[in-house]
Amino acid sequence: MFSIADVVREAARVRPDAVAVSGQGRRSTFGELDERSSRVAAGLVALGVQPGDRVAYVGLNRTDVLDIVAGASKAGAVPVPVNFRLAGPELAAVLTDSGAVVLFGEQPQVDLLAPHDVPALRRTIVLDSDLDSGYDAWFDAQPSADPGRSPGPDDLACLIYSSGTTGLPKGVMIRNRNLHSMLDVARRRWQLDPGDASFNVSPYFHVLGFSWAVHSLRQGAIIAQVRDAAPGALLPMIAGEKARVAVLVPALIDIVLRSPGLDEADLSSLRLVLYGSAPISVPLLTEATKRLGVAMEQSYGLTEVAGGATFLSPSAHERALAGEADLLRSCGQPDPGSELRIVDPSTLEDVPVGSPGEVLIRSAQVMAGYWNRPEETAHSLLPDGWLRTGDVGYLDASGYLYLVDRAKDMIVSGGENIYPAEVERALIQHPSVAEVAVVGAPSARWGESPVAVVVLEPAATVDSDALIAWCRDRLAHYKCPVAVNFVDALPRNASGKVLRRVLREPLWDGHVRRIG
């Protein structure tokens, strides 16, 4: 049972009348999900979709997404969930690179795409549209018979786009066997029983959101989801669905703790909060443990490993509260199914315990490679199966991983990956900007946020607000700098390369961990 199609078919066979997904005022059973996804699959086959073709979705979380994802799998196609926060040119670039032949999209994102050409795209189906070309009319016209296609272990389960070092998003090819391995980790660490509810805010274009949804389906659990992370929506869904596990980033844990009615809410069913993308502070951990009354676990991973690779266990969090606060700087120990090495990035030779180097991971979860990027694949995937993460960290004597920097200059803000190159490319187009470098600065809420350091053209007088507004017209808003610092010159080494470390240093003064 490797493919998403098979997971849905089996769940419907075993628990047809049990609730599979809840959200937006709608509850669907496993039987209904099976029937609806078969209609989507039949419709895709009728559109000429062949095994291996890419089928994209762009929009916020909604119950229809699972119909589309499972339907694409049943048609033998590869689901491509796309970041709904992308600007029009970015969205067109992702769809063009993926070669998506069908797009399911919400109206705002479809409107953004309208001025742009996507050569391979044969059909765009708009959700929540009353038009004959909209999703509901298209869906109702399809037969309910399952086409019966079954992707194999080495076929792609999904193509998820992660920001690239050049600033261009790159597609991470996750095979069914990679996803299956991640689901085994999830089942072993966070056992969900049939009928349990799991709450996850992560959108489907994040590997965590995608893999957690499939994990819940395979376990016969309820996927409790919200459209987005609106503060007023989190606590009611967690309490209302009696979630046993909640997946949140620290910023959202803080929002839940500030929610009106928290002390009166019945959270007796909740037993674990899983978090990632940023470390948690001792005060926040203390308050969350006391007021929520749950175990806490941190996960460190990346899209390229289909989810998590190391975990800071609930017992480690208990030790942190008992006086070993330094453990909270760690992202834990590798799962038994994953191996870690710390190497010199120039020689790939192992470094001593306690010495920083590039983090390498080897696991059955590791991706097949980057879509259409053989050179980047060859750089990141070593012949003996090790993945170069680009993160800099060290292992202590007990095997705990500590991240200290990011070799690839990536900024992680609220769980979203931002590469400086894409922000710099937008800013350098402004006529007043002569040079620019973007770095991550610490953020109490988001872990880190982008800050631009700008050298202006002679006699230019543009201010920071104007440059930020310029970015907001061209980039997803989460990628835009929160501040602009003006300097006379950027620091460079003898080869002329910008020294981002020098720019970051004053921003991170007093922070031991240089990764949000």
**Full strand arrangement of the beta sheet holding 222-224:** 26-29, 19-23, 222-224, 197-200, 243-247, 272-276, 295-302, 307-312, 333-334
Q: What is the pLDDT along the chain (516 residues), one digit of tens a residue?
A: 679 999 999 999 999 999 999 998 899 999 999 999 999 999 999 999 999 999 999 999 999 999 999 999 999 999 999 999 898 999 999 999 999 999 999 999 999 999 999 999 999 999 988 887 799 999 999 999 999 999 999 999 999 998 654 567 899 999 999 999 999 999 999 879 999 999 988 899 999 999 999 999 999 999 999 988 777 889 999 999 999 999 988 888 888 998 998 989 999 999 999 988 777 777 888 889 889 989 999 999 999 999 999 999 999 999 988 999 888 889 999 999 999 999 988 899 999 999 888 999 999 999 999 999 999 999 999 999 999 998 888 999 999 999 876 666 778 888 787 878 778 888 988 989 988 999 999 988 888 999 999 999 888 899 999 999 999 999 999 999 999 999 998 888 655 668 888 998 899 887 755 555
- The CA-atom distances, in angstroms, between 400 and each of 165, 205, 228, 365, 397 are 27, 29, 33, 20, 8
CA distance 104 to 129: 11
Pinpoint the residues of the chain covered by CATH 3.30.300.30: 411-504
pLDDT value of position 199:
93
Q: Please tell me the CATH code under which domain 4-12+27-174 is placed.
A: 3.40.50.12780
CA distance 283 to 481: 28
Residue 502 falls in which region: left (phi positive, over 0), alpha (psi -120 to 50) or beta: alpha
pLDDT value of position 514:
54
Pinpoint the residues of the chain covered by CATH 3.40.50.12780: 4-12+27-174
pLDDT value of position 317:
92
Residue 77 near residue 52, CB atoms below 8 Å: yes
Q: Cβ–Cβ contacts within 10 Å for residue 336, how many?
A: 9
Place of tokens 């004053």: 506
pLDDT value of position 515:
59
pLDDT value of position 1:
64
pLDDT value of position 315:
95
pLDDT value of position 163:
66
pLDDT value of position 376:
94
Three-class SS of residue 428? coil
pLDDT value of position 368:
98
pLDDT value of position 131:
80
Residue 387 near residue 253, CB atoms below 8 Å: no
pLDDT value of position 123:
97
User: Exposed, middle or buried by CB within 10 Å (0-12, 13-18, 19+), for 475?
Assistant: buried
pLDDT digits (tens, 9 = 90+) for 243-282: 999 998 888 888 899 899 898 999 999 999 998 877 777 7
Three-class SS of residue 379? helix
Tokens of 459: 């006699």
- What CATH number does domain 411-504 carry, 3.30.43.10, 3.30.300.30, 3.40.50.10480, 3.30.420.480? 3.30.300.30
Q: Cβ–Cβ contacts within 10 Å for residue 396, how many?
A: 14
**Closest alpha carbon to 200 in 221, 230, 226:** 226
Residue 447 near residue 412, CB atoms below 8 Å: yes
User: Exposed, middle or buried by CB within 10 Å (0-12, 13-18, 19+), for 283?
Assistant: exposed
pLDDT value of position 166:
53
Three-class SS of residue 252? helix
Residues 6+ away with beta carbon under 8 Å from 38? 71, 74, 144, 145, 146, 147
Q: Are strands 54-58 and 102-105 parallel, antiparallel or unpaired?
A: parallel
